[in-house]
Amino acid sequence: MRTTASYDLFPDAPSERAMARARWLAREGRVADAEAAYKDVLATHPDLKPCWAEYFDLLRRSGRRDEALQLSARALAQFGATGFALALEGAALIELERVPEALASLERAADADPDLALVWHELGVAAWKLGDGNRALLALDRAFALEPHTETLRLRGRILRHAGRYPAAEVAFEGAAQAAEHPEQREEAEREILATRRYAFYAPRRPDQLTPGEQWFALTGVAVLAPDPGPVAPSDDTIVATLLEVAGDRGWRFGQIVVVGPSLPVWNRLAEAWDAPLVGRPVGGLDPATAPLVVAPRPLRRRRLAARGTGRGGAPERPRVRAGAPGGAAGDAPPPGRRRRRAHRCRSAPRADAEPRAGDDRSPAPGGALRRPAAASRLIPGDRP
C-alpha cells in the first residue's frame, strides 16, 4: 500500500518528530516498537491521516490482515464513510482475498473522494486481482496524475509485463526507480527492470505462456540446470558439465571462481575451463569488474552476488526432499535413509546482446539445458501486486 503525508499537515512539531521516529523504526524492521510509536501518535492526534495510513501499511506488510481490517473499522468510526477510511477498508479486504467486497468499498471511496490518489491506487490493485488489466491501468493512471508515487508505477509495470508489453513495462519500472523516496524502493524497481528484460528475452510470449523453468529464470535470474523429476538426481560432474555447456553457448566468461564454504573438486574443472583462479570470499565484497562466479556446496540465501546482477553463482544443492515426490522441493523433510542432489543454479543478469537462437523458443540454453525445475509450483512466486 502507498503511504503519503499529503492527507493532512502535521499539527505540531512533536507529532512530526514522533512520526519520523515511527517511520524509522518501521524501516529498521522493529515492528513492535514502530506499532507502539504509531499508537502513541494516534492517542494524541486521532485525526492525523498519515499516521493511520502508515500504521495500516505496517500491519499489512507484517501479514496481520485481520488487524489491518480492524484498524480500517476504527478509521471508519473516526472519519465516517470518507474516501480515506473506505480506501483503508478496501485495502484490508484485498489482503484477505475478499476482492469483490474490496472493489465495492473502493468504488464507494471514489464516489466520496474522487481526488484522493490512494483510492485509485487501491482500486487498481483490486481490478488487477480480478483480472481486469485495462481497468487497473486506467485507475493507476488517474492515481499517478493526482499524486506521482513509485508504488503506483511499479504496479503499472507489473500489469504491463503480465500482458507481454515488455518495453512499456520497463519504462514504468524505470520511472518507479527515479521516483523512489528510499533506497530499498529504488533497488526493488531496479530488480523489476532486470526481470522485465529477462522476460523480454522470450517475446512475443507473455509470462503466463512460459514454461515453469523459463518463468523461474525470468523472475529470479537463476537458471535451473537439472533434468526433469526422476528417480536419479544428476551428479556434481553432470551439473558442472551442463553449466559449461550453457556458459559456452551464451558466451559467459568469468575472471574468478569465488568459493564460499568447503571446496569441492568439481570447482577445479570450472577454474580450468575459464583459466580463472579459485579464490576465497573477498573481505571487501565482490568486485564486479572481475565477473566473479560464486560457488558453494549449498545455495546462498538472500545474498547479493555482485552489484546490480553482475557476476553469477551456483551450488550443487543438497536439499531435503518430500517423501513420494521425485526430485523433491527444498524445505521438505527427507525420506528415511535417502539424500538427493537436485539443481545447480546459475544466477545471471541478461546480456544486452543476448538474442534467442533460431528455432529455439524454449529456453535460453540450447538443447533444453535449462529444464523445468522439480516441484515448480513451490519455486515460482506469483506475480502479485
In tens, the pLDDT along 221-230 reads 877 666 566 6
Domain boundary among 96, 114, 147: 147
Q: Domain of 98?
A: 13-147
Consecutive H or E run containing 314: strand 312-314
Mean pLDDT within 189-209: 94
Question: Is residue 96 predicted with pLDDT exceeding 90?
Answer: yes
Whether residue 8 is contained in a domain is answered as no
Whether residue 265 is contained in a domain is answered as yes
Mean pLDDT within 172-182: 91
Q: Measured between alpha carbons, how far is 173 from 198 in angstroms, rounded to an integer? A: 14
Question: What is the residue-averaged pLDDT of the chain?
Answer: 76
DSSP code of residue 68: H
**Is 235 found in the same domain as 138?**
no
**Is 230 found in the same domain as 134?**
no
**Is 143 found in the same domain as 275?**
no
Q: Residue 39 maps to which CATH number? A: 1.25.40.10
Consecutive H or E run containing 121: helix 117-129
Domain boundary among 101, 120, 147: 147
Question: Is residue 354 predicted with pLDDT exceeding 80?
Answer: no
Instruction: Kindly indicate the confidence band of residue 301, based on its pLDDT and cuts at 50, 70 and 90.
Output: low
pLDDT value at residue 141:
94
The more confident residue out of 260 and 195 is 195
Looking at the structure of the chain, the number of domains it has is: 2
Mean pLDDT within 371-376: 32
Torsion 353-357-360-363 (CA) sign: negative
Of 16-30, 154-168, 323-337, 339-353, the range with the lowest mean pLDDT is 323-337
Domain boundary among 96, 121, 147: 147
pLDDT value at residue 326:
27
Of 26-30, 105-109, 191-195, the range with the lowest mean pLDDT is 26-30
DSSP H helical ranges for the chain = 13-27, 31-44, 49-61, 65-79, 83-95, 99-112, 117-129, 133-146, 150-162, 166-179, 183-200, 212-220, 236-250, 266-274, 376-379
Instruction: Kindly indicate the confidence band of residue 238, based on its pLDDT and cuts at 50, 70 and 90.
Output: confident
**Is 355 found in the same domain as 224?**
yes
**Is 308 found in the same domain as 232?**
yes
pLDDT value at residue 184:
87
pLDDT value at residue 14:
67
pLDDT value at residue 36:
93
pTM, to two decimals: 0.62
CA-CA distances (angstroms) from residue 124 to 130, 159, 195, 383? 10, 10, 22, 15
Cβ atoms of 243 and 314 within 8 Å: the answer is: yes
pLDDT value at residue 37:
92
